Chains A and B, each alone.
Chain A
């Protein structure tokens, strides 16, 4: 009864709504932070995909005779055939003589896979749990208390535990980051579901006999997409960081596989003398995380109606 005629029936608002609104994509393209973020991410993805074509050598090849060289150092190698070849180490070599440039480029693969993988898995699992928990009242209390418990597990501690059980590896790292992220997604989805559940169009769907799973998919799920995309980007950035931290601590991906965290960990001992070992992967890591966060911020501004109302 408190719904008021004036706000509800506003022909002006009707007319405004009836006009074709610019599509979400067009609005996204106008946001500078989305553009910058997307360009950097596109660059990183290209680097990761094209790693073998970027003039890299085997990132795992150890060369004890050419250790700890500075960036841009050149070296001439005499091949077995007698031909001479000059090789430039763009980012120098590390303490085992591995080419840092190749390692950083290949490392982008791991970082992106971990970021996207963790985001996709935690969003997918969290979405299902959140939908069910938010919509089915009696399940809500049980599921949410369980989620509270999961949130209390520190990611790094979980990673140490998992590594000691399963051994280091990509899957272990992904699981260790996914587990504490799921409850955050669940909470987000649940909060959306709790408001949408009370919408009259959902009640109308109930009264025309739509089965609960269909109601969830048709009427509730589409409302969670926008906030989930935004949350997904933040999870992605966070996961890239955490993977680097875990690798740096030596409890993530095994050291022979190049990841930005591993390269930095390896360069840590000689950091004062040869800072390039940490500098280059650090810059790539920072750029990627910044780009993903910028993309997330831009997406939130354009997709979240509450933010777009701010004039």
Chain B
């Protein structure tokens, strides 16, 4: 490839305002994107990858200032371009798609009008020509029924369709550079696979160079030609994807890649005769809304869910968003009351117990939530949060605090930091605190509801290791809710695959991952990005 790069960044430095955690958001970064090429910019949160995208697009917040370096877009330095010139360049020469298509699209404008706006701003075409182009681009991004799409408002489309509209908007003027900032992070895995396929296809048929920002090495392995790895504002490694993934030079890259959970399920020995902790029988939850004046709408969030978890065993419930997996978890934790079926907890039926009768059973099931930033009350010290449960059941405060200190050690945090507030901890640390809070109740069943989904891959690996260690030490039964098949493969002994409220496949993890029976499971496994790549199996190491 001798073509001149569409984007050539050299020695880029962006200053952070004084008082930030580090002086530079991005320091001395240089790489290039050629036509017909997808370059992945990968790194954990706070590594500065989005700052680079914003710098190129001229979208940096006013508090961040590029202080050195060049960003050449087809030979033109965008750092020195004025606001008017940048406005001309956007969409015509460079475009960007964002993470969350629902918020990136204007909810009160039809999709057709939003694409039309791009054309009206940058071209002199008459209405008929603009229409023709909109239809052409919608066909290119594989959206069916262009007329319906043109007339539709964003909320009437699915997440995948919305992202396709975004891509259509970005590509309608055939820019030389497309920047995609985590465009599939908010999407389900099967939708993600389709969008990745679309981006690959477009990049093949157009000369577009793509700068793809992601935190997911699966996606990197799936689509990129070259990959740039960022850590704390610095570029630590840049090279052809296969080269970097199989022979990483930098220690950080090696650590990052080794943290990616493998798709090959881990075989673990366990006792088949262990005591049954939880059993659900034809569990179902139906939501009925409206109905006061209008016709009631019924949503079956979960139906006919029958699973069991034994002591020391982890059951994974996997599925995409809306599959009902969280509903099942919340029913079992009795945060909501199931509409039908039974939940047997060590022999007691808790599905329809009233508040009073349920109280002694509450402590036997504990739950760790997805969002570590919202699962701790920001106004209370973490110590207060941990002892809340035990003191509810009559433990003296002093004893509860002593226990909290032990638990902090168990989750590998400083026991002396109990009097600190949640905002003083990082996301991974907060998740450890939530685990400590759950363990303070000495539960028999621990539910992890997407407990590692919001964490960076290296932190995720640590929290998963911690959960596994705790499960073994305390012989806990664990219910692990996740959308991430890689995580499920590593953590679960048995797996229930949920789709549209029903369990479509249920069995040993090893069996399901190697020989899936149901079509949906097959589709799910096939959609997992980078499934053919064994991360961490480095060559020449």
Chain A residues near B (Cβ < 8 Å): 1-12, 14-19, 199-201, 203-212, 214, 218-219, 222
Is A6 a contact of B434 with CB atoms below 8 Å? no
* Most B C-beta atoms less than 10 A away, residue of A12, A199, A206: A12
Interface-side segment among B138-146, B388-396, B508-516: B388-396
Is B372 a contact of A8 with CB atoms below 8 Å? yes
Instruction: Tell yes or no: B234 within 8 A of A by CB.
Output: no
Is B456 a contact of A9 with CB atoms below 8 Å? yes
Is B46 a contact of A208 with CB atoms below 8 Å? no
**Known A7-B45, A9-B44, A204-B375; 6 more pairs at CB < 8 Å:** A1-B188, A2-B100, A5-B215, A11-B45, A15-B21, A207-B334
Expressed in whole angstroms, the minimum distance between the Cβ of B164 and any Cβ of chain A is: 17
Question: Given A204-B375, A205-B388, A210-B392, are A6 and B50 also a contact pair (CB < 8 Å)?
Answer: yes
Cβ 8 A contact of A1, one of B20, B335, B424, B450: B450
Closest B residue to A8 by CB, please name it: B454
Please, could you name 20 A-B residue pairs with CB atoms under 8 Å apart, sorted by A? A1-B188, A7-B45, A9-B44, A14-B423, A14-B426, A17-B424, A18-B424, A199-B374, A204-B434, A205-B377, A207-B334, A207-B366, A208-B389, A209-B392, A210-B389, A210-B392, A211-B392, A212-B355, A214-B392, A218-B380
Chain B residues near A (Cβ < 8 Å): 16, 19-22, 44-46, 50, 99-100, 182, 185-186, 188, 215, 320-321, 333-335, 355, 359, 362-363, 365-367, 369-377, 379-380, 385, 388-389, 392-393, 423-428, 434, 437, 440-441, 450, 453-456, 459, 483
Expressed in whole angstroms, the minimum distance between the Cβ of A180 and any Cβ of chain B is: 26
- Give the chain A neighbours of B379 by CB distance below 8 A: 222
Is A203 a contact of B424 with CB atoms below 8 Å? no
Question: Given A207-B335, A209-B393, are A16 and B371 also a contact pair (CB < 8 Å)?
Answer: no
CA distance A3 to B455 in the complex (A): 10
- Give the chain B neighbours of A15 by CB distance below 8 A: 20-21
CA distance A190 to B365 in the complex (A): 30
Cβ 8 A contact of A9, one of B334, B392, B428: B428
Cβ 8 A contact of A8, one of B362, B373, B434, B440: B373
Is A201 a contact of B375 with CB atoms below 8 Å? yes
- Give the chain B neighbours of A10 by CB distance below 8 A: 45-46
CA distance A16 to B424 in the complex (A): 9
State the majority secondary structure of interface residues on A: helix
Is B46 a contact of A209 with CB atoms below 8 Å? no
Is B185 a contact of A208 with CB atoms below 8 Å? no
- Give the chain A neighbours of B365 by CB distance below 8 A: 207
Closest 8 pairs (CB-CB, A-B): A208-B389, A15-B21, A200-B375, A17-B423, A200-B369, A11-B46, A9-B427, A9-B45
Question: Given A208-B363, A210-B392, are A1 and B459 also a contact pair (CB < 8 Å)?
Answer: no
CA distance A272 to B18 in the complex (A): 63
Question: Given A10-B46, A11-B426, A12-B20, are A1 and B369 also a contact pair (CB < 8 Å)?
Answer: no
Closest B residue to A21 by CB, please name it: B423
Question: Given A201-B377, A219-B377, are A6 and B359 also a contact pair (CB < 8 Å)?
Answer: no
Is B363 a contact of A209 with CB atoms below 8 Å? yes
Closest A residue to B336 by CB, please name it: A203
Expressed in whole angstroms, the minimum distance between the Cβ of B364 and any Cβ of chain A is: 10
Expressed in whole angstroms, the minimum distance between the Cβ of A226 and any Cβ of chain B is: 11
CA distance A19 to B18 in the complex (A): 13
Is B333 a contact of A207 with CB atoms below 8 Å? yes
CA distance A218 to B369 in the complex (A): 20
CA distance A212 to B308 in the complex (A): 30
State the majority secondary structure of interface residues on B: loop
CA distance A18 to B351 in the complex (A): 42
Closest A residue to B378 by CB, please name it: A201
Expressed in whole angstroms, the minimum distance between the Cβ of B444 and any Cβ of chain A is: 13
CA distance A179 to B46 in the complex (A): 52
Cβ 8 A contact of B335, one of A5, A206, A211, A218: A206
CA distance A206 to B379 in the complex (A): 17
Is A8 a contact of B335 with CB atoms below 8 Å? no
- Give the chain A neighbours of B182 by CB distance below 8 A: 4, 6
Is A9 a contact of B459 with CB atoms below 8 Å? yes
- Give the chain B neighbours of A8 by CB distance below 8 A: 45, 371-373, 427, 454-455
CA distance A11 to B456 in the complex (A): 11
Cβ 8 A contact of B423, one of A2, A18, A199, A214: A18
- Give the chain A neighbours of B425 by CB distance below 8 A: 14
Expressed in whole angstroms, the minimum distance between the Cβ of B460 and any Cβ of chain A is: 9
Cβ 8 A contact of B369, one of A5, A204, A210, A222: A204
Closest A residue to B181 by CB, please name it: A6
Question: Given A5-B455, A12-B20, are A200 and B374 also a contact pair (CB < 8 Å)?
Answer: yes
Is A210 a contact of B372 with CB atoms below 8 Å? no
CA distance A99 to B69 in the complex (A): 78
- Give the chain A neighbours of B372 by CB distance below 8 A: 8
Expressed in whole angstroms, the minimum distance between the Cβ of B376 and any Cβ of chain A is: 6
Question: Given A16-B20, A204-B437, A207-B335, are A9 and B450 also a contact pair (CB < 8 Å)?
Answer: no
- Give the chain B neighbours of A3 by CB distance below 8 A: 370-371, 453-454
Closest A residue to B453 by CB, please name it: A1
Is A12 a contact of B46 with CB atoms below 8 Å? yes
CA distance A4 to B181 in the complex (A): 12
Expressed in whole angstroms, the minimum distance between the Cβ of A138 and any Cβ of chain B is: 12
Closest B residue to A201 by CB, please name it: B377
Expressed in whole angstroms, the minimum distance between the Cβ of B466 and any Cβ of chain A is: 16
Expressed in whole angstroms, the minimum distance between the Cβ of B239 and any Cβ of chain A is: 24
Question: Given A6-B215, A218-B380, are A209 and B321 also a contact pair (CB < 8 Å)?
Answer: no
- Give the chain A neighbours of B455 by CB distance below 8 A: 5, 8-9
- Give the chain B neighbours of A5 by CB distance below 8 A: 44-45, 185, 215, 454-456
- Give the chain A neighbours of B426 by CB distance below 8 A: 9, 11, 14
CA distance A95 to B434 in the complex (A): 73
Expressed in whole angstroms, the minimum distance between the Cβ of A281 and any Cβ of chain B is: 43
- Give the chain B neighbours of A14 by CB distance below 8 A: 21, 423, 425-427
Closest B residue to A196 by CB, please name it: B377
CA distance A222 to B377 in the complex (A): 10
Is B321 a contact of A11 with CB atoms below 8 Å? no
Cβ 8 A contact of A11, one of B19, B21, B483: B21
Expressed in whole angstroms, the minimum distance between the Cβ of B365 and any Cβ of chain A is: 7
Expressed in whole angstroms, the minimum distance between the Cβ of A219 and any Cβ of chain B is: 5
- Give the chain A neighbours of B186 by CB distance below 8 A: 1-2, 4
Expressed in whole angstroms, the minimum distance between the Cβ of A246 and any Cβ of chain B is: 39
Is A9 a contact of B454 with CB atoms below 8 Å? yes
CA distance A226 to B287 in the complex (A): 34
- Give the chain A neighbours of B441 by CB distance below 8 A: 208-209
- Give the chain B neighbours of A205 by CB distance below 8 A: 377, 388
- Give the chain A neighbours of B362 by CB distance below 8 A: 206-209
CA distance A11 to B371 in the complex (A): 15
Is A203 a contact of B369 with CB atoms below 8 Å? yes
- Give the chain B neighbours of A1 by CB distance below 8 A: 186, 188, 320-321, 370, 450, 453, 483
CA distance A230 to B380 in the complex (A): 23
- Give the chain B neighbours of A200 by CB distance below 8 A: 369-371, 374-375
CA distance A201 to B371 in the complex (A): 10
* Most B C-beta atoms less than 10 A away, residue of A4, A9, A12, A214: A9
CA distance A201 to B427 in the complex (A): 15
Closest A residue to B426 by CB, please name it: A14
- Give the chain A neighbours of B370 by CB distance below 8 A: 1, 3, 200
- Give the chain B neighbours of A2 by CB distance below 8 A: 100, 186, 321
